[in-house]
């Protein structure tokens, strides 16, 4: 499993908020939904994305932007256009004075804005929950990044435009998977850019020794790995592996393995009904007690508390 595949293996989009936004100038929307990740693909016209802090960016047709939450930002035809709507958590939409929109800007199936043939059209996909596995990847991204059409080409645009307005059985699942593909394509393009600062563990995957060890840990976390067994697999000494791994990844192999196992645990607590004991076996802990102790030490809550909180969020979102 490589770094980008890890984004899909765990917290895939589930019932993501996806719309086609159609506007005529002047227009602006304030985003305060605290979503962990939002993708904006400009299909027609242009737009400005203005965060509360940091540099604003301009999107033209074919450009893509990714906003990493929870910081708010404003999207509009110009940086100084006053917002006409505010997006809040749970996909609630209000006027700036707090009055609910009550569907006044709905234009049809997953379509929103002024008019269907507006001069500016944007596809927006929002992940509603932050999963633990992709946390390392998301934390490596800037709060706001853009990919201009000159440096990447999105083959998914026609398909997304067609599918986002369909009202078919299981359509949410189709859109979730398309959003996943869009994000993976965008992140792959982003990390290939010279201005991107990929996380240390992502860069380390290219190392012939450390990359092999990272894949072993990611692919089989339940195995009773030791530095000695990993070193044997990589055909190096224990000391050489420990030193090289720590230099490239920023932490020792066993620390990385612990964090990976607990991240997997957090996702399985949220996404399955498996018992703590069953999950312990899946991620390499000898007992439910051992896993619970390690989990609470790192996350500050017990596995059951984490599961309960995740369930409340799913119902709220």
pTM of the model: 0.76
Share above pLDDT 70 across residues of the chain, in percent, rounded to a whole number: 90
**Around Cβ 211, how many Cβ atoms within 10 Å?**
17
Of 50 and 70, the structure prediction assigns the larger pLDDT to 50
Check residue 72 and report its DSSP letter: -
Residue (of 132, 19, 27, 117) closest to 80 by Cα position:
27
When pLDDT is averaged across residues 9-17 and rounded to a whole number, the result is 64
Write out the two tokens for 201. Answer: 């563990």
46-51 vs 17-23, strand pairing mode: unpaired
Give the angle subtended at the CA of 51 by the CAs of 48 and 55, to the nearest 5°: 75
Write out the two tokens for 162. Answer: 């067609």
Per-residue model confidence as pLDDT tens digits over 161-185: 999 999 888 888 888 888 888 888 8
Task: Check residue 4 and give its pLDDT.
Answer: 58
- For the packed helices 253-271 and 288-299, what is the interaxial angle rounded to 10 degrees? 100
Per-residue model confidence as pLDDT tens digits over 217-243: 988 999 999 999 999 999 999 999 999
Task: Check residue 91 and give its pLDDT.
Answer: 78
In the chain, the N- to C-terminal Cα span, in Å, equals: 30
Residue 301 pLDDT grade (very low, low, confident, very high; cuts 50, 70, 90): very high
Per-residue model confidence as pLDDT tens digits over 76-86: 999 999 999 99
Of 24-28, 88-92, 279-283, the one with minimum mean pLDDT is 88-92
Number of residues that this document lists for the chain:
317
**pLDDT tops 70 at residue 131:** no
């Amino acid at each position: 499993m490589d770094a980008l595949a890890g984004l899909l293996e765990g917290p895939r989009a589930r019932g993501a908020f996806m719309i086609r936004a159609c506007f005529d100038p002047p227009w602006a929307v304030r985003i305060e939904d605290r979503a962990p990740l939002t993708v904006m693909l400009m299909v027609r016209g242009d737009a400005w994305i203005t965060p509360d802090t940091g540099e604003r960016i301009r999107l033209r047709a074919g450009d893509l932007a990714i906003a990493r939450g929870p910081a708010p930002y404003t999207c509009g035809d110009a940086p100084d256009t006053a917002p006409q709507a505010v997006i809040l958590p749970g996909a609630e939409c209000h006027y700036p004075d707090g009055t609910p929109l009550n569907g006044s800007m709905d234009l049809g199936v997953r379509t929103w804005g002024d008019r269907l043939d507006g001069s500016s059209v944007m596809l927006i996909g929002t992940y509603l929950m932050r999963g633990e596995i992709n946390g390392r990847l998301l934390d490596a991204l800037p709060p706001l990044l853009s990919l201009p059409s000159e440096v990447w080409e999105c083959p998914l645009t026609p398909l997304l435009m067609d599918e986002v307005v369909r009202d078919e059985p299981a359509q949410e699942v189709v859109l979730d998977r398309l959003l996943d593909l869009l994000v993976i394509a965008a992140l792959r393009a982003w990390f290939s850019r010279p201005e991107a600062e990929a996380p240390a563990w992502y860069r380390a995957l290219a190392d012939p020794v450390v990359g092999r060890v990272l894949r072993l840990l990611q692919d089989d976390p339940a195995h009773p790995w030791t530095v000695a067994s990993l070193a044997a697999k990589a055909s190096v000494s224990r000391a050489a592996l420990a030193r090289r791994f720590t230099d490239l990844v920023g932490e020792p192999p066993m620390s990385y393995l612990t964090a990976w196992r607990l991240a997997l645990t957090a996702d399985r607590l949220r996404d399955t009904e498996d018992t703590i004991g069953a999950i312990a076996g899946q991620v390499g802990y000898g007992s439910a007690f051992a896993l619970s102790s390690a989990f609470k030490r790192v996350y500050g809550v017990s596995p059951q508390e984490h599961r309960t909180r995740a369930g409340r969020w799913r119902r709220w979102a």
